[in-house]
Structure 1
């Protein structure tokens, strides 16, 4: 983390976001930053616009490298593919997937938390993406409603545990795929803070049409960060994927704890 980012983060937390945006625009000449009427951080650059509830200075190339290094490690989407992005957050990965699959491809971008979903919508709009379907719901093992937490770090909001304070629609991948008319899926990406163990129980009908999946399991949260036992998900997810005919690859040699918990599935 750069010295500027540390100082900017501190100033942002103290309520000086507009001043931070001006300083960031001077520090990062290839990007411009501003704060919208809702207080959201806008990171605008030639290739994409990212809208976030928190400080965001990543370059588009950094986001691309992250997507290719993590989610596309086992399978890299190509033009015309359909990608499902479960746990899309503010839409960083969605932008990259959208650019890769092109106008003949499709990205279904799913985010549960309403405030984060609004950022996702603005990222899609600001980046000029026309091949993305954005859906505001949690992906679990049943249709209905579920509560999600609203923590200070939006990427850690979860439907697990007892601290959920926002009610959101809950859908299975099967029912959502039926509703949206999703056919063959080249890549299913999933990063939903432990709820992956629920989500993989709800795609019996869709699973045969999914060629590749990259799923972030969250054992590392319990092991390295003192998280609750419900973050132990890897073995449950592995069993569910194998029961649905997938072959699993892992990266046990990675020095990064969360990457060692990724499961890459293919058929």
Structure 2
């Protein structure tokens, strides 16, 4: 890494170790994240949500944090270790609709540093001002992971830059039988790059008996209403 890239890595690591984001969401999540429960964090990034969920489920709970990027995972694991979050387990896997391998694309910004928060299986488009870093990573499905680990899932958070449709198709068994709440960020452009459609994603979840609220007002919505965070709960 260049000197600039090393500095950027240290800056990202310092934020991950010393700051806690998203605390304002804890009251929204609390009805769906019980103490002693299990949370799936798909696209754990630097661990801000994983740390929040760790506090919410408590010492008897479990957070399964999936982060396929080696660079990002190094920050995540160090941040969790620094803060002694022992109920978070990190998996070097992506989640999709079938097991195998996929290419993870991480954009290089105009400044020359990694846009590590924009890494995507669907490509990165204009974000890659100076090219991209391509990394072949293993992926599995949530259904397969839950079966092999005999898990009961209470809550799912997925921020995977447009790959949400693929992920949810690989989680249909869990959604049908366990009915976890789902917190996802949806972006029509990113979904399109992954061959997905926001309206179809809503229709698929509605067919499974899920209803949505959109942040920041947390009002009920019947269809996709633009880029943002959505909370889907079983009706």
TM-score range, shorter chain: 0.7 to 0.9
Where does residue 182 of structure 1 map in the other structure?
151
Alpha carbons of structure 1 residues 247 and 128: separation in structure 2 relative to 1, 3 Å: same
Match of 1:159 among 97, 110, 121: 121
Aligned CA RMSD, in angstroms, stands at 3.1
State yes or no: 1:84 paired with 2:40: yes
What is the deviation of 1:112?
1.9
TM-score scaled to structure 1, two decimals? 0.69
Any stretches of 5+ residues in structure 2 without a counterpart?
108-113, 125-131, 219-224
Aligned pair 1:68/2:36, yes or no? no
State whether residues 158 and 164 of structure 1, in contact with CA within 8 Å, keep that contact through their aligned partners in structure 2: no
Separation (CA, whole Å) in 2 of partners of 1:136 and 1:16: 22
- Residue 200 of structure 1 contacts residue 240 of structure 1 at CA under 8 Å; is this kept in 2? no
**Does 2:93 align with 1:93?**
no
Distance, in Å, in 1 between the alignment partners of 2:49 and 2:178 is 22
Matches within 5 A, 1:201-212: 201-207=169-175, 208-212=177-181
The separation in 2 between residues aligned to 1:211 and 1:15, in whole angstroms, is 39
Cα 1:248–1:257 shift into 2, 3 Å: closer
Distance 1:80 1:103 in 2: 7
- Give the match's secondary structure for 1:104: coil
Match of 1:121 in 2: 77
Q: 2:193 aligns with which of 205, 208, 230?
A: 230
Q: CA deviation at 1:106?
A: 0.9
Question: Is the partner of 1:206 in helix, strand or coil?
Answer: helix
Partner in structure 2 of residue 131 of structure 1:
87
Residue in structure 2 matching 1:195, options 163, 169, 172: 163
Q: CA 1:239–1:15 in structure 2 vs 1: closer, same or farther (change >3 Å)?
A: closer
Q: Which residue of 2 aligns with 1:59?
A: 19
Q: Does 2:203 align with 1:247?
A: no
In 1, the alpha carbon distance for the partners of 2:32 and 2:186 equals 20
Taking a change above 3 Å as real, the CA distance of residues 73 and 102 of structure 1, as seen in their structure-2 partners, is closer
Structure number with bigger Rg: 1
8 Å CA contact 1:247–1:265 kept in 2: the answer is yes
Higher relative contact order (CA 8 A, sep 6+): 2
Structure 1: give runs of 5+ residues left out of the alignment: 1-11, 18-34, 45-49, 52-57
The alignment covers a number of residue pairs equal to: 213
Residue matched to 2:98: 142
Q: Which among 124, 139, 144 is matched to residue 170 of structure 1?
A: 139
**Which stretch of structure 1 is more off in the superposition, 112-121 or 242-251?**
242-251
Distance 2:5 2:116 in 1: 18
User: Residues 74 and 216 (structure 1 numbering): CA distance in 2 closer, same or farther, change over 3 Å?
Assistant: farther
Q: How far 1:110 moved relative to its partner?
A: 0.8
Contact 1:80/1:103, CA 8 A, preserved across alignment: yes
